[in-house]
Amino acid sequence: MSHDRDWHGFGSDNHAGIHPEIIEAIAAANGGHVSAYGDDPYTLRFEALVRELFGGEARGFPVFNGTGANVVSLHALLPRWGGVIAAETAHINVDEAAAPERIAQTKLITVPTPDGKLTPALVEKHVVDVGDVHRIQPAVVSITQSTELGTLYTPDEIEAIADTAHGLGLKLHVDGSRISNAAASLGLPLRSFTTDAGADVLSLGGTKNGLLAAEAVVVLNPEVTGVEYLRKMDLQLASKLRFVSAQLVALYGTDLYLRSAGHANAMALKLRGLLEAIPGVIVTQPTQANGVFVVFGGLARSTVAALAEKHHFYEWDPARGEHRLMCAFDTTDADVEAFAADVKAAYAAA
C-alpha cells in the first residue's frame, strides 16, 4: 500500500511526514547497543540542551506524544483533590478523550473565550469556593501556546497569568505542542515566554513540527518533583529512548524548529491573504501561527464539502460554519495557490 507523496492537504500539521533532517537523526542514532531508558548520549545531550534553552534548573523528560506530555505534566502539578483551569477550546478538554481526567485523575474547569486565551480576570473568576469540601479545588492553570485558535500569548500576558495563578496558590502549565510556531512568530527565545514568564511546567512539542512520536515534559520550577516516576506510571517512558531524544536534539539543538515553524507560519499568512481577497470568505481569527480559520460565506455546504474532499480540511465549528486550515513545514506555495484558486472558482460558479 502506498500514497501520493506529492499531495498536501490543510487538515492538520500532524498529517505531514517526518522532516528529512529528523530521519537522518534517527538513522544516525541507530546501530550498535546503547543503554535503555535514557542512559544514553542522546538523552544526556537533550537534558543539557533543555538547560541551555530554558535555564540551568530546567529538567527535560522525553515522552511519546502530546497527550502523554500533558497528562504527565498535569499529574506532576496536581494534588489529588486539584482541578485544572483551561480554555474551553483547550486540547486537553476537546481532543484528549478525557485522558487528563482518567489518568491524571483531575477535573477540568473550562472557561469560554473568544480567542482561545485565558486572562488573569478569567482565572480569578474560576478560583471560587476555596476550602469548600464540596467543590474541586483549583490547583493548576493550563494555557496553550500557540492556542487551538491560532492565537498567541505575549510574554507579558503569560507573566500576568503566572503572577495571578501563583498569587492564588496555583501552578501554571503551558501546553506547547505548537510552541515552535509561537517562537517563530514572536521572534523571541523559548525561555522568554516560559521560564522567564513564570511557567512551572511545559509540554514541549515536536510531532506537529516534523518529528515522529517525540515530545517532552520540561520542568521549569525545581519545586515540581516526581516526573521521572510519573512518566513511567503514565506509560510514557520509552525503552529505546535514544531515538526519541535524538529527534528532539535535532529539532531544538539547531534552528530547525524555527525554520520549519516559520515556514508553516508564512504559508498560513499567505493563505489568509489570498482567501481574504475573495469576496464571501470571512477570516474569523487572527493568523498568528500556522492556522487559518474561515467561514465560506454564501457557499453551499455541498460545495464546501467538495473543497474539503479535494484539499482535506476540517469543520471546526459547525454552528457557525467555521473551518480550520492548517499549514505545515512542507506546505508549498503551490499548495496554497491551488487551494485559493479552487475557492475562487467555487464562488464564481456559485
| CATH number for position 174 | 3.40.640.10
Predicted local distance difference test score (pLDDT) of residue 205:
98
Q: Nearest 5°: phi and psi at 224?
A: -85, 120
Task: Say if residues 256 and 250 touch (Cβ distance below 8 Å).
Answer: yes
The answer to whether residue 9 sits within a structural domain is no
C-alpha 274/C-alpha 79 separation (Å) is 49
**Strands 107-111 and 314-317, sheet pairing:** unpaired
Which stretches of the chain score pLDDT less than 70?
Answer: 1
Instruction: Please list, in sequence order, all residues whose beta carbon lies within 8 angstroms of the beta carbon of residue 186, skipping any fewer than 6 positions away.
Output: 152, 154, 155, 192, 193
The answer to whether residue 298 sits within a structural domain is yes
C-alpha 10/C-alpha 327 separation (Å) is 6
The answer to whether residue 7 sits within a structural domain is no
And the C-alpha cell for 250?
A: 535535532
C-alpha triplet 227, 229, 230: angle, nearest 5°: 65
Number of domains in the chain: 2
Predicted local distance difference test score (pLDDT) of residue 2:
85
Specify the pTM.
0.96
C-alpha 89/C-alpha 116 separation (Å) is 6
The answer to whether residue 4 sits within a structural domain is no
Polymer length in residues for the chain:
350
Cis omega (within 30 of 0) for bond into 146: yes
The answer to whether residue 8 sits within a structural domain is no
Predicted local distance difference test score (pLDDT) of residue 219:
98
C-alpha 95/C-alpha 177 separation (Å) is 13
The answer to whether residue 163 sits within a structural domain is yes
87 and 230 inside one domain: yes
**Strands 215-219 and 281-283, sheet pairing:** unpaired
292 and 155 inside one domain: no
DSSP one-letter string for 228-297: HHHHHHTT---TTTHHHHHHHHHHHTSSHHHHHHHHHHHHHHHHHHHHHTSTTEEE-S---SSEEEEEET
75 and 211 inside one domain: yes
268 and 224 inside one domain: no
225 and 340 inside one domain: no
Predicted local distance difference test score (pLDDT) of residue 173:
98
62 and 206 inside one domain: yes
Beta strands in 82-155 (DSSP E): 82-87, 107-111, 137-144
Domain residues for 212?
17-254
Last residue of a domain, one of 254, 277, 305: 254
Predicted local distance difference test score (pLDDT) of residue 248:
98
C-alpha 128/C-alpha 293 separation (Å) is 34
111 and 236 inside one domain: yes
Number of H helices, E strands in the chain: 13, 11
C-alpha 264/C-alpha 257 separation (Å) is 11
Task: Say if residues 191 and 183 touch (Cβ distance below 8 Å).
Answer: no
